[in-house]
C-alpha cells in the first residue's frame, strides 16, 4: 500500500517524466515539420494523413525510443531538487531508510517498464507499419539493401544464388539455380542476369545455360532469353532493416526462422531488434537506480552537476550499446549478449553508486 511519501515521490517522478516527454516531442515535431515542409508541399497526402498516419506514429516511436533518457533525466531533476531542499536528508534523519526511499521510484519504474514492454511488443509494430508505409508512399521510395554472393534455399533441394543483386533494377547478376535430389545434383541453370517482372511475378533470364545431369550423360540447353517462374521475390533477397520494426514479435520470430531455413545467415539486425524490445524497457530500472543514487547526494553545484554526471553516463551507455551491436553485426558477437550486456554493466555501476549514496 502506498503511503503519503510514496504517492508524493511517485506523482513527482511520473509527472516530471510525462512533462519532459510532451515538451521534447513537441520540439521534435516542430523540427521534423521544418525539415519536411518542402516534401509536404509536393506530396498528395491530406493533412489528416500527415497528422494521423505519420505524426501520431512518429511521436509514439520516438517517445518510446528515448523513454530511457527521459526517465533518467526526470529522476535526476526531481531527486536533485529534493536533495537541494534537504528533503532527502529530512527523510533519512527521521528514520526512513534509503531503500525505503527507493521503493516508490521502483514502483514508477515498474509501471513505465510494463508500459514500454506492451508498446514494444504490441502497439509499436502496427504504428511503425503505418508510419513506414507513409514514408514509402510520400517521402522516400522503397529500396532494398544491395548485397553480394547471395544464397537462398527457395524450396527443399532448390538453391538459388547470385554474385550481386541490383536493388534498384531488381536484377540478379551471374544468377544460378541448382536442383538437388538428396546429395545428388540433377539440374543446374546459369544466367548472365535475371530481371524480375513485377507484373507477372516471373524472372526474365538473359544468356542462360541449363545443364541436365543424367545417368547416360549430361545434356545442355543454351538460349539468349527465357522467362521462368521461381519461388523467389526481391523482398526475399534483402530489404530495409527498418521493416523489422513493423513486424509483430511473432512475425519477427517467423521471419528469422524462415531466413535461417533459406540459408540466410544475415539475421543479426533482426535478432537485435527482437531482443531490444525487451532489454530497453528493463533499462528503466538501471536508469532509475543510477539517477536516484547520483541525485540524492546534496553537493555544491546542485542540479547542474547532477545533470552533467547523468548526461555523461547516458552518453557512455549509448556508446556501449552501439559498440556491442556493431560487434554483433560485424564481429560475430551473440545478439542476445550484445543487447543485454550494457544493462548488466550499468546495472553493476548503479549498484556501486547506490552503495556510495548517503544512507
CA dist., res. 315 & res. 338, Å (int): 17
Q: What is the DSSP string of 165-209?
A: EETTTTEEEEEEEEEEETTEEEEEEEEEEEEEETTTTEEEEEEEE
Provide the domain limits for residue 158: 147-236
Residues 29 and 115 in one domain: yes
Instruction: Give the pLDDT of residue 299.
Output: 61
* Contact between 194 and 205 (Cβ < 8 Å): yes
Residues 166 and 66 in one domain: no
Residues 201 and 290 in one domain: no
Residues 133 and 155 in one domain: no
Instruction: Give the pLDDT of residue 358.
Output: 60
Residues 136 and 282 in one domain: yes
**Count of structural domains within the chain:** 2
pLDDT tens across 300-314, in order? 655 667 677 777 887
Is pTM, for the whole model, over 0.85?
no
Instruction: Give the pLDDT of residue 144.
Output: 43
In a domain, 252, yes or no: no
Residues 9 and 136 in one domain: yes
Instruction: Give the pLDDT of residue 231.
Output: 76
In a domain, 250, yes or no: no
Residues 231 and 339 in one domain: no
Residues 231 and 153 in one domain: yes
Residues 231 and 132 in one domain: no
Residues 30 and 110 in one domain: yes
Cβ atoms within 10 Å of 138's Cβ, excluding its own:
18
* List of the chain residues with pLDDT < 70: 1-2, 140-149, 166-169, 235-242, 262-266, 298-304, 306, 357-359
**DSSP run (H or E) holding 271:** helix 268-295
Amino acid at each position: 500500500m502506498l503511503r503519503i511519501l510514496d504517492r508524493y515521490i511517485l506523482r513527482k517522478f511520473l509527472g516530471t517524466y510525462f512533462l519532459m516527454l510532451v515538451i521534447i516531442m513537441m520540439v521534435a515535431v516542430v523540427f521534423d515539420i521544418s525539415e519536411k515542409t518542402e516534401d509536404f508541399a509536393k506530396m498528395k497526402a491530406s493533412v489528416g494523413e500527415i497528422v494521423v498516419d505519420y505524426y501520431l506514429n512518429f511521436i509514439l516511436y520516438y517517445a518510446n525510443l528515448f523513454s530511457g533518457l527521459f526517465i533518467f533525466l526526470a529522476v535526476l531533476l526531481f531527486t536533485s531538487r529534493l536533495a537541494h531542499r534537504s528533503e532527502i536528508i529530512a527523510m533519512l534523519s527521521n528514520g526512513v531508510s534509503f531503500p525505503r526511499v527507493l521503493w516508490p521510484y521502483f514502483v514508477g519504474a515498474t509501471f513505465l517498464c510494463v508500459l514500454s514492454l506492451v508498446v514494444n511488443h504490441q502497439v509499436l509494430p502496427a504504428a511503425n507499419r503505418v508510419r513506414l508505409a507513409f514514408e514509402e508512399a510520400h517521402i522516400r521510395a522503397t529500396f532494398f539493401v544491395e548485397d553480394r554472393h547471395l544464397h537462398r534455399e527457395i524450396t527443399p533441394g532448390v538453391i538459388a544464388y547470385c554474385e550481386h543483386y541490383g536493388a534498384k533494377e531488381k536484377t540478379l547478376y551471374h544468377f544460378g539455380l541448382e536442383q538437388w535430389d538428396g546429395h545428388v545434383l540433377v539440374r543446374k541453370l546459369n544466367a548472365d542476369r535475371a530481371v524480375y517482372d513485377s507484373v507477372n511475378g516471373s524472372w526474365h533470364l538473359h544468356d542462360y545455360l541449363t545443364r541436365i545431369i543424367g545417368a547416360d550423360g549430361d545434356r545442355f540447353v543454351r538460349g539468349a532469353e527465357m522467362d521462368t517462374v521461381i519461388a523467389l521475390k526481391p523482398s526475399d533477397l534483402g530489404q530495409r532493416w527498418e521493416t523489422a520494426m513493423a513486424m509483430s514479435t511473432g512475425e519477427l520470430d517467423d521471419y528469422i526462422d524462415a531466413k535461417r531455413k533459406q540459408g540466410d545467415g544475415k539475421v543479426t539486425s533482426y535478432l537485435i531488434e527482437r531482443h531490444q524490445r525487451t532489454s530497453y524497457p528493463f533499462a528503466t530500472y538501471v536508469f532509475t537506480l543510477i539517477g536516484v543514487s547520483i541525485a540524492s547526494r546534496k553537493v555544491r553545484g546542485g542540479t547542474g552537476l547532477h545533470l552533467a554526471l547523468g548526461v555523461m553516463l547516458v552518453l557512455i551507455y549509448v556508446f556501449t550499446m552501439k559498440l556491442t551491436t556493431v560487434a554483433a553485426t560485424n564481429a560475430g558477437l551473440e545478439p542476445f549478449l550484445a543487447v543485454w550486456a550494457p544493462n548488466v554493466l550499468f546495472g553493476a555501476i548503479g549498484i556501486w553508486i547506490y552503495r556510495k549514496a548517503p544512507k
